[in-house]
Structure formats: structure tokens, C-alpha cells
Amino acid sequence: MSQVQPAERKPVILSGIQPSGELCLGNYLGALRRWVELQDDYDCIFMVVDLHAITVRQVPAELRKRCLSFAAQYIACGIDPKRSTIAIQSHVPQHAELTWVLSSLTSMGELGRMTQFKEKSRKAVSTDAAVPDVPAVEGGGASQQANAALFMYPVLMAADILLYQTVGVPVGDDQKQHLELARDLAQRFNHHYSETFVVPEPFIPQVGARIMSLQDPTKKMSKSDDNANNSIALLDPPDAIRRKIRRAVTDSETEIAYHPARPGLANLLTMYAVLEGKPVEQVVQAYSGRSYSDFKSDLAELAISVLEPIQQRYRELMQDRSHLDQVLADGARECRRRAQRTLSKVYRKLGLVEPAR
């Protein structure tokens, strides 16, 4: 891949997932599944964004394991290291360096308005996003104790994207606002210092962009939910998948129909449709006149049939640590080379002195 000249390269796609919690069906249907498809037409970079994960306190030994496990799950889901670049964010120092530069073009107000920051900082004290051993500021609300990296999070994400001249960023619905900032920063830099960055587009799926929690279908399914019954982990054994779907909250109606006022059922229908690759209407039609419990047990078997081969490949990959290490070392080398090209250009345009060779 590294021998290919830039002019012959396909347009670049980049995305990443934080190594926190356990990858879930929401991540698969909203993001990973798309990544796999995009590999045919784009030059793809997929990252395990560990520097983003430390915006919440992590247990070091678990974080280390999870980074490797996530990379293996990307590959098990169908990301092909021969065609795509897979890397761990912290292996590419240019991400943190460009973050600093971009932060000088970002206002505090812009970052303070980010929905994710507002939500996470409000809960900082109870979710480990507070800085330990620092006394609360007098007169400041709970959010004053949130760590500053949580505030800077979207700037680091913009750096991830802009370093590679990325044209498209496949993410779920919740990342739209962060992407908007990445676009603004690219335009701002280009305007002040001349054309440097490609302005990235969000690639958000039409269906499956927001898979909801199984127990509370008004909330999104999240890989770091405390209640394991809310989400299906990619590595959940078949029995857990059956049990969680059987217990998923629906409603007291009997007819299977897609209606936003029946969010539990609508969510399960969406999951079925995306897993099967069919429009929701077709699924509704196929189940007309059938019971919720029939539908749920078919959905569970469908999810198992998609996840079992992924789990099998995952187990094989985790047994060959040296192969995984090699994939990540190759990915990091490729990323560092490409990222440095952009970063050097940025430093030059800013007026920083180039080191003598």
C-alpha cells in the first residue's frame, strides 16, 4: 500500500471508536458494518482512539487489553488489514500535535456548546470524568470538575480526521456535531493560512444510525452502559443474545408495525432490517399477523448468525498476538508517514521554523 503514489490513491475515509466498554451491536450496525463496505471504494483508516478514551478514568491494565481486543474485533468484523490501515491513535504522535494547533483556532464557546461535553461534564463526578484529588472550585457547578481533555475531545477528533485529508467520516448520528467542528476548523485554517485541509463530509447511514437501548428505547444503545441488558455485545454468547432480546422492552399492542410511538418495537425492527439487509417495510410485511415472541426469537437467531462467525474469527485472531502486533505496527508506520506530511505543512504555514536537516 505504501508504494502507491498519492495521485493514484482512492479518496480517504477515516473513523475511530474509543476503547471503552464492550463493542456492541449499535457500534456494528451504526459504524463497523459500513466501514467494511467502504473498503472497496476508499482508502480507509480505522483507529482505536485510545487518547479519546482517557477523557474518562480507565483501569490501565484493562485499557491495554481492550485496545488490542478492539483492533481484533475490527478485523473480525471484516476490516481487511491488507486493504485498510488499522492503527492505535497513541502510536501516531501527530494527532496530539495537530490538536494543539487546532485548539488555537477553536473558541471556548464552541466547545462549551457541544452536547456530548455538556452531558458528560454534568455527570463528571459520578462517571470518573472528574479530575481526582482536585478540590471543587467554589461557586462552580459540578461540570467545573470535569477534566479539560473532555472539553478538548472534539479538537482531537478534528485532528484525527484532518491529518489524512479525509473526505468522508462514517459515524453514527451522535457524532454529527463533532464533525461539524472538524469541518469548521478545516475551513478556518484554509481561510487564514491558505488551502491545506480537505473539508470532510459526514457519512451517516440512513437506517441504523441510532440503535436504541433494549431496556429503554428512548436512549441510545451504548457500549459503556452499566446495565448489560441494555445492549448486545459483539462477543455475547448466543444464550445471552436470546435472553436480552426476549426481555427487550416493547409495548402492549399485538400487531407488528413500525411506528415511532412504539420505539421498542421500531428499534427491534430496525435491527432486524439492517442485519438482514432489507428495508424495514419488508420485515414488517413478513411478520404481519405474527406474534412479538416469534419475531423476537427470529431476531435473536439472525443476530447470532451474524455474530457467531465474527466471534470465531476474533478468537483465532486473539490467539495470534504477533500477527495482530504486526498489523498495528504497519498501520502506525503508515499513519505516521502520512500524518507528518500534513503536520509539516501546517507548521510551515503557521510560521514555525523548520528544523535544519
Using rule CB under 6 A, residue 220 touches ligand AMP:
yes
Using rule CB under 6 A, residue 221 touches ligand AMP:
yes
> How many of the other CB atoms lie within 10 Å of CB of 325?
12
Using rule CB under 6 A, residue 205 touches ligand TRP:
no
Using rule CB under 6 A, residue 169 touches ligand TRP:
yes
**Closer CB to ligand AMP, residue 20 or residue 250?**
20
**Closer CB to ligand TRP, residue 202 or residue 238?**
202
CA-to-CA separations, 36 to 89, 172, 258, 350, 352, in angstroms, rounded: 20, 15, 28, 37, 39
Torsion of the alpha carbons at 142, 146, 148 and 149, rounded to the nearest 10: -150
Residue 250, C-beta contacts closer than 8 angstroms, at least 6 positions apart? 262, 264, 265, 268, 292
Choose among ligand TRP, ligand AMP, none what residue 200 binds, the Cβ cut-off being 5 to 8 Å by kind.
none
Residue 83, C-beta contacts closer than 8 angstroms, at least 6 positions apart? 1, 39, 44
> Which residues ranging from 175 to 194 are in contact with ligand TRP (CB under 6 A)?
175, 178
Choose among ligand TRP, ligand AMP, none what residue 14 binds, the Cβ cut-off being 5 to 8 Å by kind.
ligand TRP
Residue 20, C-beta contacts closer than 8 angstroms, at least 6 positions apart? 53, 56, 58, 66, 223, 224
12, 13, 14, 17: residue in contact with ligand AMP (rule CB under 6 A) = 17
Site string for ligand TRP, 125-164 (x = CB under 6 A): --------------------------------x--xx---
Using rule CB under 6 A, residue 216 touches ligand AMP:
no
Q: Which one-letter DSSP state was computed for residue 204? A: -
Nearest-5° angle of CA 171, CA 173, CA 177? 90
29, 114, 167, 171: residue in contact with ligand TRP (rule CB under 6 A) = 171
Using rule CB under 6 A, residue 15 touches ligand TRP:
yes
Choose among ligand TRP, ligand AMP, none what residue 157 binds, the Cβ cut-off being 5 to 8 Å by kind.
ligand TRP
Secondary structure tally for the chain: helices H, strands E: 15, 5
**Cα–Cα distance, 84 to 64 (Å, whole number):** 23
- Altogether, the residues listed in the chain come to a count of 357
The footprint of ligand AMP on this chain (CB under 6 A) covers a number of residues equal to 18
Beta bridge partners of 168: 13, 201
Using rule CB under 6 A, residue 264 touches ligand AMP:
no
* Residue 8 C-beta: closest distance to ligand AMP, Å: 29
Annotated catalytic residues are 120, 220, 223
Q: Which grid coordinates are listed for 304?
A: 447470532
Task: List residues binding ligand TRP (CB under 6 A).
Answer: 14-18, 49, 52, 157, 160-161, 169, 171, 175, 178
